[in-house]
């Protein structure tokens, strides 16, 4: 299966009844500011080249962001912070992401999430995380030949991703702990190149509006991961 095949299958997924109901209700009711738009209202596949050297792993689509536009981190404040930082360190063609046809391309980087449907209150259940993890596991297996580094945005993504990395890499037990600025190197199961894993606070408004996470902090982690990935 190619990455394009995987992405096509993801957008048709209806495995989590609660999330299917929520994503579709949000798309029907809409936010007043977007009432003239047609919401995507479906799972949001990963965004970026299938031979990416670097992956950025978030949490899940935002109800009125990616669930509206159909592309990861597009059309919301979190994306404003993330793409500005990615552009600043040479990983994105432009600093803004407003809609799926805005011309944005990513350089050697694929953005994805462990849960691909917008969850109520941004809180997927452990069961939903584990169900959707099957998609991310396949995505990681397809990226494996080129993937050299991962930036994980937030503790939820960290907890979801690390068990899945065993598909190709040795993950120590006990598992490495999440923190902003942490770095770990995981050896490959097949003896190939290792994977460098970087922790970064999530680019949520809760973190960026309070100053817990600044643009400079995001850029520093992304720049380190870019260099580790050889981009």
Q: Give the 3-state secondary structure of 17-66.
A: HHHHHHHHHHHHHCCHHHCCCCCCCCCCCCECCCCCCEEEECCCCCCCCH
> In the complex, what is the shortest distance from the CB of residue 31 to ligand SF4, in angstroms, rounded to a whole number?
21
Instruction: For residue 185, list its beta bridge partners.
Output: 196
The Cα 191–Cα 57 span in angstroms is 24
Closest CA to 70 of 61, 82, 78: 61
- The reply to whether 13 sits near ligand SF4 by the rule CB under 6 A is yes
- The reply to whether 14 sits near ligand SF4 by the rule CB under 6 A is yes
Closest to ligand SF4 by CB, 13 vs 62, is 13
Distance of CA 162 to the CA centre of its chain: 14
Chosen residue from 15, 21, 29, 188 binding ligand SF4 by CB under 6 A: 15
- The reply to whether 222 sits near ligand SF4 by the rule CB under 6 A is no
Chosen residue from 10, 27, 56, 143 binding ligand SF4 by CB under 6 A: 10
Q: Which two tokens stand for residue 182?
A: 């942490």
- The reply to whether 46 sits near ligand SF4 by the rule CB under 6 A is no
Query: To 5 degrees, how large is the angle CA 228–CA 167–CA 163?
Result: 85
Cβ atoms of 10 and 134 within 8 Å: the answer is no
The window from 69-77, 128-136, 138-146, 204-212 that contacts ligand SF4 (CB under 6 A) reads 128-136
> In the complex, what is the shortest distance from the CB of residue 129 to ligand SF4, in angstroms, rounded to a whole number?
8
- Within 10 A of 118 (CB to CB), how many other CB atoms are there? 28
Binding mask 56-95 for ligand SF4 (x = CB under 6 A): ----------------------------------------
Chosen residue from 53, 71, 110, 116 binding ligand SF4 by CB under 6 A: 116
The binding site for ligand SF4 (CB under 6 A) comprises 10, 13-16, 19-20, 43, 115-117, 128, 131-132, 135
């Amino acid at each position: 299966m190619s990455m394009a095949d995987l992405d096509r299958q993801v957008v048709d997924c209806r495995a989590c009844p609660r999330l299917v109901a929520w994503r579709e209700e949000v798309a029907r009711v809409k936010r007043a500011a977007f009432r003239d738009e047609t919401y995507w209202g479906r799972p949001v596949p990963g965004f970026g080249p299938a031979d990416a050297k670097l992956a950025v792993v978030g949490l899940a689509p935002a109800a009125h962001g990616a669930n509206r536009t159909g592309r990861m981190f597009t059309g919301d404040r979190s994306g404003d912070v993330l793409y500005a930082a990615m552009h600043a360190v040479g990983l994105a063609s432009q600093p803004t992401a407003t809609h799926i046809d805005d011309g944005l391309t990513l350089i050697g980087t694929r953005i994805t999430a462990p849960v691909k449907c917008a969850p109520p209150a941004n809180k997927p259940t452990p069961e939903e995380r584990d169900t959707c993890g099957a998609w991310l596991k396949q995505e990681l297996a397809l990226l494996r030949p080129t993937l050299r580094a991962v930036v994980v945005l937030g503790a939820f993504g960290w907890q979801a991703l690390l068990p899945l990395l065993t598909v190709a890499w040795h993950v120590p037990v006990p598992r490495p702990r999440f923190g902003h600025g942490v770095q770990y190197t995981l050896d490959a199961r097949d003896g190939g190149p290792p994977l460098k894993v970087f922790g970064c606070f999530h680019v949520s408004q809760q973190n960026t509006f309070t100053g817990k996470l600044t643009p400079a902090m995001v850029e520093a982690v992304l720049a380190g991961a870019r260099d580790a990935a050889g981009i």
